Amino acid sequence: MEAGGEIFWYLFDIFNFWAAIVLFIVLVWMFHHSLKYRSKDGSDNNIDDFKPGVFPKENDDLKMELTWTIVPFILIVYLTYIAWGPIDEMWSADPDAHEIYVTGNQWYWDFDCDPFRDTENAPESYLSMENRSSTVFYNANGILICEISTIEVEGQIKPLLRVKADESYGFLLTSNDVTHAPFFLDWGIKEDTQPGMETRLYYTPSMDEIGSSLLMCTEYCGKDHGYMTAVVEVFE
């Protein structure tokens, strides 16, 4: 699966569309002027009598100057506005989201999906089961919501986080040592983890995202930074 959720691919297409238009205009303008205003044999090399540091007043074109200032400004404002979409999607709190605690360590990830891990009064309708190989968590309806275990990847044991498609999750991020930045590659979301504070991400994996993907650290955190990975699996 390629990186990025639906909203990110939408933005990717929009940015590419406008980039192609700008590229087309620039290339047409460049080739047109290169051919039309190229010097010819025997012609005066200083036909406009240009002087260093002086722009001839008769060559001013206010309409053109306003056009190449205002049009790009409007385009940049528009692209900036729509780029806020993923930020709103990731940071907007969902009161019904299942909380998953993600803790960065040098150089591995810890996961915990028990929302009552810090209390002794968990409702009976919620169930967390733990054995030597994995920890699973069920919601009030007895549906598996989250599972934490390990998996072997290229000869190394990596953390495995399993989440259910079409369920909303809130990732509560922190660090035990230095700054890390978990990047959920296929979902296209990323946020820093900071020692002594908690940051958050919200995401609802879709049915199209069923399968395994990579979670990696994208903030340099020491000698084994490149090996600080985990596997995230979306199940139906």
* Tens of pLDDT, residues 52-100: 777 777 777 889 899 999 999 999 999 999 888 777 666 777 888 999 9
Look at residue 98 and give its three-state secondary structure.
Answer: strand
Token couple for 65 = 């100057």
Is residue 127 scored above 70 in pLDDT?
no
Token couple for 182 = 């978990």
Give the separation between CA 12 and CA 4, rounded to whole angstroms: 9
For the chain, percent of residues with pLDDT exceeding 70: 84
Give the separation between CA 93 and CA 129, rounded to whole angstroms: 27
Query: Of 14, 171, 29, 6, which Cα lies nearest the Cα of 103?
Result: 171
Burial of residue 102, with CB atoms counted within 10 A of its CB: 0-12 exposed, 13-18 middle, 19 or more buried: buried
98-235: CATH number: 2.60.40.420
Is residue 191 scored above 50 in pLDDT?
yes
Across the range 184-206, mean pLDDT stands at 90
Domain boundaries, the chain: 6-91, 98-235
pTM of the model: 0.68
Give the separation between CA 218 and CA 120, rounded to whole angstroms: 36
Is residue 39 scored above 50 in pLDDT?
yes
Is residue 119 scored above 80 in pLDDT?
no
Give the separation between CA 202 and CA 93, rounded to whole angstroms: 7
For the chain, percent of residues with pLDDT exceeding 90: 51
